[in-house]
Structure 1
Amino acid sequence: MSDTESGYVSGCSSQDSLPDVHFTKAHLKFLNSKLQQLEPQEILQWCITSLPGLYQTTAFGLTGLVTIDMLSKMTGPLKPNVDLIFLDTLHHFDETLELVERVRKQYGTTIHVYKPEGCETAKDFSAKHGSKLWETNDELYDYVAKVEPAERAYSELQVKAVLTGRRRSQGGKRGDLDIVEVDDAGVIKVNPLANWTFKQVQEYVEANGVPYNDLLNRGYKSVGDWHSTQPVAQGEDERSGRWKGKTKTECGIHNPKSRYAQFLRQKQEAELSQALEGVKVEA
């Protein structure tokens, strides 16, 4: 009996793809209880063998760089082939953009670069959205520079799951981070180094010759846009240099409660409702 006839798909099936992965809350809780006990490399191995449409989103911070290096060293029947998604806000430090090219050269990883819609340069961005949008409307800035490009990337690349560089020790809202999460759009987010400290990340980078941002040698620990990133003082948590003097700790990509995230959700619900109204129900 063939797989089609039986209603099941096996490894030798002629079908090219498997169904998307969906987790119930109970399954997610169970997974986190098990993955919590594993090393990052083991978590990555689970991701490679279990999650379709897997990518890594990165701004080339230390944790993301460690993940890239770990993937490059993995061996097994399934070769890691995880492309990178980089959101070029057009306001990154020159050092960050130089690092992107170093990573591309050293690892040969495919990097998908997404910029704010309709913009190629910072000058384009200012012409379209006004000067210093991050000061006049920082939530709108987060949306047009990061959230919308991320959603466009996920849609065009058919992303089902992403690896992130978030860790609990980074502080803020990340203190109670799970290994595996599912966002409102159904995208699975995996934080393979959630358990690691900044010191552990640093030690891995030094031991393995991982390229990193030159700004880290000048007191920076977490690097974002030049206009909202400062060096970190001794005793401060590593993300304290981001949005200094503000209460925000996330840019919107990982913050489903931001006003623009809520606006998008309401917009999607309205469009769905309108579509359903146009459907004729036949007896």
Structure 2
Amino acid sequence: MPSFSTSALQFDAAQLKHINDKLSRLEPQEILNWATITFSGLYQETAFGPSGNVITDMLAAQSHSVPVIFVDTLHHFDETLELSQRSQQKYNFLLHVFKPEGCETREDFTAKHGDQLWKRDDVVYDYSVKVEPARRAYEQLNAQAVISGRRRSQKGDRAALQIVEVDKASGLVKINPLANWSFQQVWTYLRANEVPYNALLDQGYKSVGDYHSTRPVKEGEDERAGRWAGTEKTECGLHKDYFAMRSAFLARKKLQQQAEAVAAAPTAVEA
């Protein structure tokens, strides 16, 4: 039976199932309390979506001091960046911001990768703006576990989500305390507890990502239907296998370099 490990814990697949069975009977606040007791290198990873904001408020209500990782893709809506500041001011958490490698601004990213990389090659884009910065964050901060706002009701790849998952390659533990919640439960909590939320939610958005690939959700559509609309894509790669994403990224970059070399090569001149 495969074994997964972090520097704090070691447990096999059977034990992981046992943990999930136990936690599935608990409220999100109880799951968060378990996480803070269990892991020393614990972080909340959020892009300040509705679920992440609920978790931040729950942690603060329990007086848990959990630092936050925010992957700034440099393509967020202004409303998202404003919310990140407003949330940090209200809850006073330690905020760690990670950006695409070698870039501080959107202009830096365009200068390095060209215009509209997300249209030309979404694999290279996802790896550059999400996967690599997140991996760098885990390594630099020595993260043992991260708290995520993912929920089964978001469907897609998340439909079979477990409360506790383990990255088999790195041993990083991902904890999803709201896995059993619906969007309505999230929204009710936000309003009842006066939790800061993205102003775009009042304009029909339910899941907010990068500005170029997010639209409001129409009546009757799934919660994340506004993300990557018109494609079969449901995840940016942040919660997929890192090594598979890196391998795909390197393969795409190699093809790109070969194409650029061919384009730059001098053409034969007839004698």
* Bin for the TM-score computed over the shorter chain: 0.7 to 0.9
1:176-203 per-position Cα deviation (integer Å, ceiling 9, x unaligned): 1100000132100000000000000011
Counterparts of 1:23 and 1:245 in 2: how far apart (Å)? Answer: 41
Q: 1:211–1:84: structure 2 CA closer, same or farther, 3 Å change rule?
A: same
* 2:55 matches 1:67: yes
Q: Is the 8 A contact 2:48 2:80 kept in 1?
A: yes
Q: Equivalent residue for 2:16?
A: 28
Pairs within 5 Å for 1:47-126: 47-74=35-62, 80-126=64-110
The aligned amino acid for 1:70 is M
Counterparts of 2:16 and 2:247 in 1: how far apart (Å)? Answer: 24
Q: Is the 8 A contact 1:140 1:260 kept in 2?
A: no
Counterparts of 1:138 and 1:130 in 2: how far apart (Å)? Answer: 13
Paired residue secondary structure (2:146):
strand
Counterparts of 1:37 and 1:239 in 2: how far apart (Å)? Answer: 26
Q: Equivalent residue for 2:267?
A: none
The aligned amino acid for 1:49 is I
Paired residue secondary structure (1:23):
strand
Pairs within 5 Å for 1:31-50: 31-50=19-38
The aligned amino acid for 1:25 is A
Counterparts of 2:75 and 2:159 in 1: how far apart (Å)? Answer: 27
Give TM-score, length-normalised by structure 1: 0.83
Counterparts of 2:196 and 2:184 in 1: how far apart (Å)? Answer: 16
Q: Post-superposition shift, 1:21?
A: 1.4
1:124-179 per-position Cα deviation (integer Å, ceiling 9, x unaligned): 00000111000000010000101000011001100010000100001111111100
Q: Post-superposition shift, 1:260?
A: 2.4
* 2:151 matches 1:174: no
Counterparts of 2:7 and 2:106 in 1: how far apart (Å)? Answer: 41
The aligned amino acid for 2:113 is H
Pairs within 5 Å for 1:151-162: 151-162=135-146
The count of residues paired between Structure 1 and Structure 2 equals: 245
1:105-127 per-position Cα deviation (integer Å, ceiling 9, x unaligned): 11111110000011011110000
**1:127 pairs with 111, 129, 150, which one?**
111
Q: Post-superposition shift, 1:34?
A: 0.6
Counterparts of 2:115 and 2:70 in 1: how far apart (Å)? Answer: 23
Counterparts of 1:19 and 1:247 in 2: how far apart (Å)? Answer: 37
Which runs of 5 or more structure 1 residues have no equivalent in the other structure? Answer: 1-17, 267-283
* 2:207 matches 1:222: yes
Q: 1:165–1:24: structure 2 CA closer, same or farther, 3 Å change rule?
A: same
* 2:188 matches 1:203: yes
Q: Equivalent residue for 2:236?
A: 251
Counterparts of 1:125 and 1:236 in 2: how far apart (Å)? Answer: 33
Structural RMSD (CA): 1.8
* 2:126 matches 1:142: yes
Q: Post-superposition shift, 1:81?
A: 1.8
Paired residue secondary structure (2:100):
coil
1:70-122 per-position Cα deviation (integer Å, ceiling 9, x unaligned): 000115xxxx2210000000000000000011001111111100000110111
After TM superposition, the structure 1 stretch with the greater mean CA deviation from structure 2, 251-260 or 140-149, is 251-260
After TM superposition, the structure 1 stretch with the greater mean CA deviation from structure 2, 249-258 or 180-189, is 249-258
Counterparts of 1:166 and 1:261 in 2: how far apart (Å)? Answer: 22
Give TM-score, length-normalised by structure 2: 0.87
